[in-house]
Structure 1
Amino acid sequence: MISQELTTQLAKAPTPGDVFERLIEQLEAQKSWHLLFDALLAQSKLKLGLPTLKPTSFEDVPAALRPQFEKDYATAARAVGTALLGQKDITGAYPYFQAIRDLEPLAAALKAIPLPATWSEEAQALIQLALYQKVAPERGVEMMLKLQGTCSTITALDQIFAELPSEARSRCAVLMVRNLHHDLLSNLSREVLQKSPLAMPPKTIREAITGRDWLFAESNYHIDVSHLHSVVRFARSIMNSPADLALARDLAEYGSMLDPQLQYSAEPPFDDYYAAHQQFFSVLLESTPDEHLAWFQKKLDAEPDAPDRALIAYVMVDLLARRKLLKEAIPLARTHLIGADPQFLAAFSELCRDAGEWGVLAEVAAEENEPVLYAAALAAQCPQPSAS
């Protein structure tokens, strides 16, 4: 119920504008942020000469007045969202920043708060916002790992991984790799020291398993093998972090030592799953990747099935592009991917742009009956007019 004091103040206001001014002052003082949003937009509509009964609706805003109302709407949403963030109400602030398509303040707030200590409705709401609404996916992964463990985090991340921007995929993959690598190395170290109490604790997975085939005797394993499979797959998305790619290669090397029954297959070229991933990470890590690229080329040359050849070629093109070997990537993509996937032409255009191969792009655009792309490729080759 509205207080008697407020009704008295509003009733004494001499003009409609004063009514809303006094209301806004009171709502700010009371920190009634959601009501304040409505009041600010009602004030905007009053100033625009519009009805105020539906303050947040755009239905009664004519086209000529819409730009000003949109501006007032964004200003009100940012003000209320910022006020809610000031009270640490991140979930309450979300609809306002979402409405103006600016999630950066929310992401910063999520990264700034401590990780929840225990599972609660509030923690669940924060994870929903960070991970499932993709406001700060890596923070959501951190929360999930702490509160729900590796299995639930993998399940959750799998649901949205393909939808994330490449930078977010990379950051999430790094967290998963570091977490699993830590757990696996701890488990290996414990077993090594149980058998050899005087041994030095191994510092890496490779050090732990080298010369210790007994660790894998009788189909033994030291981490959930389905978790290992998933995290190694996530790790293919790691960008610009050699140290974390090296951890991923360690995980793949461990996986290659497991009993074959514990090594799950995947689509080519990852049918020999851990061996292929060792080669994949080595292409990105080694100063001279030729030997490891040749491993994939051999699989490509030996593959009789056209769809599977395309899968292998896609991985090779991705690796070549990441190693900045664009001149090698373009003919491979042209041969195996343009015809296999019509959607790949956009990525091929970017490859040609980055390599400066406009002539090749023009040829492919003509072959694929893409006149606009053909014109764009021709235009890019024309000398730019000098500034007058």
Structure 2
Amino acid sequence: MLRRLTDELRSSARWDELFEAQLLAARRRLGMPLTDDGGSAAGSAAAAPELTAAYREACLEAGRGWLALGQHRRAWPYLRACGAQQTMRDALRLATPDSESADALIEVALFEGACPALGAEWLIEHSGTCAAVTTLEQLVGQFDPPDAVACAAVLVRRLHHELVENLTGAVLRSGQAPPNHREVGRLLAEHPGLMEGGGSHVDASHLTSAVRLARLLEEPEDVRLAGELAQYGERLDADWLPNDPPPFEAFFPTHRLLLDATLGERVEEALAYFRSRAEEPVEPYSASSAAETLLVLLGRLGRDREALRFYAALAQQDRATPFSSYAPAPLMLAKRSGEWEAYDRLMGLRDDPVGLALGRLSR
């Protein structure tokens, strides 16, 4: 009966019912109660691994079945439950949103986190930059670092494209020959009149959001584009400038300094600035933000020994505030540099015996 039931449900693509029938068949095969009604705990525990395997297989089949029908939203709960996120990502990359499917695809990719960067691209395409900026500002903190970085890159590329298009349009409207490049700095230098009048060629709040998220970027080309956005922002009138807390109160120049240093330029200037801000006796949040920025920059530059020393200095000052996942972890710094003695001292300063044991095992 159960074999016939599952065969008929499969042939008629009734994937939700097939999932339930397969679990029922697995319970029957393993000698378990057919429903969770408090049956033999010992027997259930013994069969748990086999039931878990059956659950995963049933999830995969239901998820793939719904994907074959183009029902990504209905497939996602099954694929997510069995850890098959990559299957969904691969399917989303083959999808082409249209007026009917866009909302569902964006919901799964972006809001459900199946493939955030792709969802961000679709959101920009179908709803515009403004909607994308507002959404990403709210969601990016919920994503794992690689997805957050990818979303930041999507927004930076979009804003850079819009800015160059609008600057080029302004050059053409002035009766001049079209530029043969897409570099913001060169456009501003070749056409100084572009900034006359105190306006902005892109929404200033969008520009600010893109540059703020660009702190996450390390890919050279994306960092370069973000640096050009910051360079443009430096030319805006004071009325357009954001009021961010230290160490980014001089918003666009400070972000440009960080981005330049990420590319290996103005490195000592950037390290000196963020180190000085981290050491200032200012409001704790600002000092923590500067300290994390310094640690991130040291990690990007491969200065792992310096980063470990700075961690130790913070611990000595009783400032071992937990940083975000973007700051390089001491264990990673020790692995890359081989500075295990410095790592051990740091764990001692932190009174962290578990961290000490982890370091001993890792080496």
Q: Tell me the TM-score normalized by structure 1.
A: 0.84
Cα 1:306–1:159 change in 2 (3 A) is: closer
Distance in 2 between the 1:335 and 1:310 partners? 13
2:98 to 103, 109, 117: 117
Cα 1:86–1:333 change in 2 (3 A) is: same
Cα 1:60–1:192 change in 2 (3 A) is: farther
Aligned twin of 1:99: 81
Could you say what secondary structure the match of 2:319 adopts? coil
1:336 to 304, 314, 335: 314
Aligned twin of 1:352: 334
2:258 to 280, 292, 296: 280
Distance in 2 between the 1:58 and 1:113 partners? 42
- The Cα offsets for residues 274-325 of structure 1, whole Å up to 9 and x where unpaired, read as 0001111110113672233334345456x34162333222211101101111
Distance in 2 between the 1:208 and 1:356 partners? 46
Aligned twin of 1:204: 183
2:212 to 230, 233, 250: 233
Cα 1:195–1:298 change in 2 (3 A) is: farther
- The Cα offsets for residues 17-63 of structure 1, whole Å up to 9 and x where unpaired, read as xx1111122112212111111221221222223343x4xx5965721
Does the 8 A contact of 1:134 with 1:164 survive in 2? yes
Cα 1:200–1:43 change in 2 (3 A) is: closer
RMSD: 2.4
- The Cα offsets for residues 62-108 of structure 1, whole Å up to 9 and x where unpaired, read as 21222221211111111221222222221111121122122111111
1:290 to 268, 289, 311: 268
The 5 Å alignment of 1:306-345 reads: 307=284, 308-336=286-314, 339-344=318-323
Tell me, which stretches of 5 or more residues in structure 2 are unaligned?
Answer: none
Does the 8 A contact of 1:359 with 1:377 survive in 2? no
Does the 8 A contact of 1:189 with 1:202 survive in 2? no
Cα 1:60–1:206 change in 2 (3 A) is: farther
CA shift at 1:215, angstroms?
A: 2.4
CA shift at 1:233, angstroms?
A: 1.1
CA shift at 1:232, angstroms?
A: 0.6
Distance in 2 between the 1:101 and 1:247 partners? 35
Does the 8 A contact of 1:189 with 1:201 survive in 2? no
Cα 1:198–1:22 change in 2 (3 A) is: closer
Does the 8 A contact of 1:310 with 1:336 survive in 2? no
- The Cα offsets for residues 148-192 of structure 1, whole Å up to 9 and x where unpaired, read as 111111111122212222221221111111111011111111112
The 5 Å alignment of 1:238-257 reads: 238-239=217-218, 241-257=219-235
AA of the residue aligned to 1:305: V
Higher relative contact order (CA 8 A, sep 6+): 2
Cα 1:76–1:300 change in 2 (3 A) is: closer
Distance in 2 between the 1:145 and 1:152 partners? 7
Distance in 1 between the 2:328 and 2:145 partners? 16
Does the 8 A contact of 2:214 with 2:223 survive in 1? yes
AA of the residue aligned to 1:279: L
Is the aligned partner of 1:63 residue 2:45? yes
Is the aligned partner of 1:362 residue 2:341? no
The 5 Å alignment of 1:1-388 reads: 19-52=1-34, 54=35, 60=39, 62-114=44-96, 116-118=97-99, 120=100, 122-198=101-177, 200=179, 202-210=181-189, 212-239=191-218, 241-286=219-264, 289-300=267-278, 303-305=280-282, 307=284, 308-336=286-314, 339-344=318-323, 347-378=329-360
Does the 8 A contact of 1:279 with 1:295 survive in 2? no
Tell me, which stretches of 5 or more residues in structure 1 are unaligned?
Answer: 1-18, 382-388
Could you say what secondary structure the match of 2:196 adopts? helix
CA shift at 1:340, angstroms?
A: 2.4
Does the 8 A contact of 1:358 with 1:380 survive in 2? no
Distance in 2 between the 1:91 and 1:378 partners? 46
CA shift at 1:269, angstroms?
A: 1.7
Distance in 2 between the 1:135 and 1:163 partners? 12
Does the 8 A contact of 1:242 with 1:285 survive in 2? yes
- The Cα offsets for residues 111-133 of structure 1, whole Å up to 9 and x where unpaired, read as 1111x232x4x422221211111
Cα 1:100–1:146 change in 2 (3 A) is: same
AA of the residue aligned to 2:127: Q
